A and B are shown apart, each in its own frame.
Chain A
Amino acid sequence: WRERCPIDLYRLRLTESGIIDAVQDRLLEESIESEIAEAFDVAKASPFPDPLTVSHNVYA
């Protein structure tokens, strides 16, 4: 089943049909990884939420 990984198969379909090339694929992955890394940095640097806000935003 690992040989039929849908994510790998889809990457293959995109690259074979010319919709994306290997360079674009790598840049895409790098930009997503840096977005995640930044989110982690912001989260670690942020204070914990105020317990008084725990019931906020249940409803719009």
Chain B
Amino acid sequence: MPKPELTERQQSGAEGIRDALDIALEKNASVFLIGEGVADPKGIFGTTTGLIDKYGSQRVVETPIAENGFTGVAIGAAMMGQRPVVIHQRVEFALLAMEQIVNNAAKTHYVSDGAHSLPMVVRLVVGRGWGQGPLHSQSLETLFGYVPGLKVLMPATAEDCKGMLLSAIEDNNPVIFLEHRWVHYVQGRVPTGYHLSPIDGPKRLWRGEKVTVVSSSYMTLEAIQAARALSEQGCEIDLFDLRVLRPLKLDDVIESVRRTGRLLVVDTGWKILGPGAEIVAQVVERCFEALQAPPQRLGLPDHPTPSSKSLAAAFYVRAEDIAIAAGVLAELSRGAIERAASKLSAERQSHPIDVPHPSFQGPF
């Protein structure tokens, strides 16, 4: 009796990322990892643990603190046919390599008229929680999403952590892979083996008719909680996990807004000039006549992340904020909105600030 090839496993986002790297390193000799801490026992939040023992220091390359330099090394290697995965433990460390990424990586294929491709992945981690503060918690997808020639991915599920990273490594373009630190903890059932999640576009995670909600990265996990709470009040939202910021493909979102007439976008980073700005602009351009209310956006307030817990509590967008904004757009009764928000707020009170909520451990 032949054994079925594909099975599933319950695992975290971080485990999925490690699986993807392990599978890619084994499958293709031109794949290598490079970055600060890739060989460290802490294994970059469990995502590279043990890989240096398995594949050696020529394929898991520990670097000095020289982000601009080793990104350039990776770009040169990619132009010569290697498939590097550059890893930064915080998004902010890539800022020292922005010229390499924006000028050299993003434009190589265009400038060479297709003679050189640049199959490089850059893994970036968005920090959050106690001790991160303003310099280790920024969600900078907008900076990378702005640049033609890059692809920008933001997984929110355990399956996408593995499947989208494998697809990114297969992709012949420079791909920015933005992992929210708290998405490393999300649980889900993930197919084992060489499982690709396509780099296509938004994925519907909840079906409804009352309001279209587009969220990305960790905010998708908060949005799912809001969807549940609103559903209990009889309000079903049409929730999309954005997944791919660039290339941005909003056909399914447009189709949804044509039905619901209402749009809420929830960004992980600052509201001003975040992905929501582009999404709202495209929706207004493409289906203005379908809108029954002005589109709304949620995102971080216009100042850096505070360090103190007393300030951090009010800084982040939470499931209850999403439920309130979506409920108001959907013209849900005030009582129903309050009940949904109160329930979400009560679930959060029992939990310390600044650590991921244990309920964000699917499966969804």
| A48 beta carbon closer than 8 Å to chain B | no
Q: Which residue of A lies closest to B114 (CB)?
A: A57
- Closest-CB distance, A39 to chain B (whole angstroms): 14
Whether B148 pairs with A58 at a CB distance below 8 angstroms is yes
**Chain B contacts with A in 88-138, Cβ cutoff 8 A:** 109-110, 113-114, 117-119
**How far, in angstroms, from A60 to B110 measured CA to CA in the complex?**
9
A59 sits at the interface (CB 8 A): yes
In the complex, B173 has a CB within 8 A of chain A:
yes
**Contact present for A60 and B117 (CB under 8 Å):** yes
Q: Does B149 contact A (CB under 8 A)?
A: yes
Q: Is B172 an interface residue (CB 8 A)?
A: yes
A56 / chain B contacts, CB cutoff of 8 Å: 113-114
Docked complex: A21-60 residues within 8 A CB-CB of B: 56-60
Which of B110, B113, B119, B172 gathers most chain A CB within 10 Å? B110
Closest Cβ of chain A to B363, distance in Å, is 34
| B79–chain A nearest beta-carbon distance, Å | 12
**Quick one: CB contact mask for B218-257 with A, threshold 8 Å, 1 for yes?**
0000000000000000000000000000010000000000
Q: Which of B148, B173, B247 contacts A60 (CB 8 A)?
A: B173
Q: Which residues on A sit within 8 Å (CB–CB) of B247?
A: 59
Residues of B within 8 A of A59 (CB): 109, 149, 151, 173, 247
Chain A residues close to B by CB (< 8 Å): 56-60
Can you list 22 pairs linking A and B with CB atoms under 8 Å apart? A56-B113, A56-B114, A57-B109, A57-B110, A57-B113, A57-B114, A58-B109, A58-B110, A58-B148, A58-B149, A59-B109, A59-B149, A59-B151, A59-B173, A59-B247, A60-B109, A60-B114, A60-B117, A60-B118, A60-B119, A60-B172, A60-B173
Q: Which 6 A-B pairs have the closest CB atoms?
A: A60-B172, A60-B117, A57-B114, A57-B110, A60-B109, A58-B148
